[in-house]
Amino acid sequence: MAGSIKVLIVDDSALVRRTLSEILAEHTDIDIVGTATEPFAAVDIIRHCVPDVIILDVEMPRMDGLTFLRKIMAQRPIPVVICSTLVGDNNETHMRALEYGAVEIIQKPTLNTQQFLRDAKVRFIDAVRAAAKADLRKLKRQAAAPAVKATFKPRSAAMAKTTEKVIVVGASTGGTEAIKRFLEAMPLDCPAIVIVQHMPENFTRSFAQRMNQLCGIAVKEAAHGDSLLRGHALIAPGNFHMTVARSGARYHVDVKQGPLVSRHRPSVDVLFRSAAQYLGANGVGVILTGMGNDGAAGLLAMRQAGAMTFGQDEASSVVYGMPKAANDLGAVAKELPLAQLPQAVLNVC
């Protein structure tokens, strides 16, 4: 179908191939151009019709999915959504998939797979649409760009003595690499940072651990009641909302269940709205690359509460969805390339 998103499904399970095909076929903007049981069969299909998106398993005969992913990105980059049981049990597999260039990762359960696929169909549709819009050239440039440590220089002695600031960040598609670059640029004495990255349960912990290894500041998956401390970043756990709260002079986070907000849990809007309420002008909001509009209304609330707000610009975004929605709403006070955001944020702190 002309103008539709062409999708190739590569999975050795006939049940998965059939179920995903049925789910995607329900949407007129998506066209299944083929299914393959393993990467070599996928290559034959790609020779005749290059898909816009590949849904790829990891554990397959003849060649594993990660090897295939790495070869695709090196030879003929195509947006890839990893769908596998292995990424939930193996943190290294998950992180390698992101490093090799996967746009999105979805964990399959080992049991009741068909029911899971049907229950998660909205997530699959969103993942395919986001992947189709992803600019892999930007993703590759971001991954290759050297980290540059920003310097923390208060604008004046008086500024250094004011109530401490808190940096509040939201991201989705393409956000893992954007957050990595943002955190790597943070100096050891940076303000406390709280982050919502759309990512499922179990993945956020490995992502936080990975960031902690790579960055100068301390990074961890947030736990209920964690204090916000200088030189520390907290990442919301998958499948839990995270909010900022205050007890006397102490800022901390609350981690809790709840309904999906803006189709997500954790939701950027939930975090940003709590920042507007409890941080006010002491908050600094940052919205990064991502599909959809989660965070736009919350960032506007932050700006209306006196916070300085930033958005990643279109040129450096893998998917210019969330930043655009926030900008269109008037929530973004200043839009900048990703490379300039860390220092700009620190300058207002």
Residues annotated catalytic, as ranges: 172, 198, 294
Residue 138: partners with Cβ closer than 8 Å, 6 or more residues away:
174, 315, 316, 317, 318
Provide the CA 266 distance to its chain's centre, in angstroms.
11
Query: What span, in angstroms and rounded, lies between the C-alpha atoms of 36 and 12?
Result: 7
Scanning the structure block, which residue is given the tokens 């760009």?
145
Intra-chain end-to-end CA distance of the chain, in Å: 51
Strand-pair category, 250-256 with 241-247: antiparallel
Go through the chain and tell me how many residues it has. Answer: 349
Residue 103: partners with Cβ closer than 8 Å, 6 or more residues away:
79, 80, 81, 127, 130, 131, 134, 136, 139, 173, 174, 318
Strand-pair category, 218-221 with 334-336: unpaired
